[in-house]
Every structure is written in structure tokens, then in C-alpha cells.
Amino acid sequence: MRARDLLVPILLAMPMPLLGQRPSAGSVRAPDGQARRGFWIGLGAGPATAACRGCGEAAQAGVSGYLRMGGTLSEHLRIGGETNLWTGSQLGTRETLGFLTADIYWFPDRAIPLFVKVGVGAMQHRAATVTATAAAGTTGLGYELRVTRTLSLVPFLNALVSSAESFAVDGHAVPASPADAYVSPIHHSLVQAGFGLTWH
């Protein structure tokens, strides 16, 4: 099952306010037991699909996870750092794809624990003796289903993509050549979905 196939059931699992029962914007406030404040840390896992544009390879399914932590600026805004890791196999070769980003998490409504995130950072892909690195960006969304006062279950969907990549073999950088101007640059991307836990 590819990660995007989980998007519909995850979104359907998110409870939405009943029609006709939404309070006015000025009176909305998250209950004390669900207020967003202070330091937080989260981790999650699920299936993911990695793709490589310019490699001539099909997208690969695998397993992935994330670790994120940060601070709360307001009931609408959090900042933090996040690492996302995927692993899979191509023609018998184990591959890993990792991202490290600085992210902003925006909660549009104080009374609804839905968030959207964006971030920038770096990517690394490893296969056998070849390592690729590049700048990267990420976007995603999640929904914090409060389990206890300090713990939330979080269904999530993340998309990450790299810029054009540089390569090294056995730790030695591969120099650019004039022929590179006629070759499509290589970019890796990752789509992951699943469930996580966040401690507030």
C-alpha cells in the first residue's frame, strides 16, 4: 500500500465540528486540557513511498518514521526541528533516505487541533557506496487527537522533496563535468503517512 492510499481514511477519521454548533471566532478557545503551550516532542511511523526524478527508477514503497520537537509561540503557531527517515530495497540494495528540516506548524483554528506545516532543510540519500546530498523542503498536515492532558495521537501526511543533488562515492565528492549540463538533475522525494504521538 502506498502512502497516499492512506490519506482518505486518515482524513475521514478526523472529527469535525457539527454543523450549526460552531461558535463565533471571537469566542473560540481551546479547552484547558487541549491548550497548546510550552515544549513538545513527537514521533511517528508508517508506510511511505520514495521516488527519484532523473534516475529512471520506479517509485519504491518502504517504511518510514519521524522525530520532531520544538516550542510553542501561540495557540496558532509552533516551531521545531524534524527528521524524517525512510528505508527500502531496490534490486537487492538497501537504500536510506533522510531529511532534516526546520519547520513551522500552523493551527488555523484554536478550537480544532488540525495543523499544516512547512519547512526547509537538507536531504541525504545512501545506496551502497553512493551518497547524495541536497537542500530540501517539506509540507504536511496532521490532526492531534488528545488522549490525555499531555499526550496526543496524531494521524499525519508528509511530503518532502530535494533540490538538485550532489554525489560522493566512498566519501569522495564526484566532480561536476561539462556533460552534466545535458543530463537531467536528480531529485528525491518522499511521501509518508501514518500515526504518531506528541507529548506536550
Predicted pLDDT at 11: 47
CA gap 38, 188 in Å, rounded: 34
What confidence tens digit (pLDDT) does each residue in 84-142 have? Answer: 999 998 777 899 999 999 999 999 998 899 999 999 999 999 998 899 999 999 999 99
pLDDT band at 1 (very low <50, low <70, confident <90, very high): low
Domain 37-54+62-172+185-199, CATH: 2.40.160.20
Question: Where along the chain do its domains lie?
Answer: 37-54+62-172+185-199
pTM, to two decimals: 0.80
Average model confidence (pLDDT) across the chain? 84
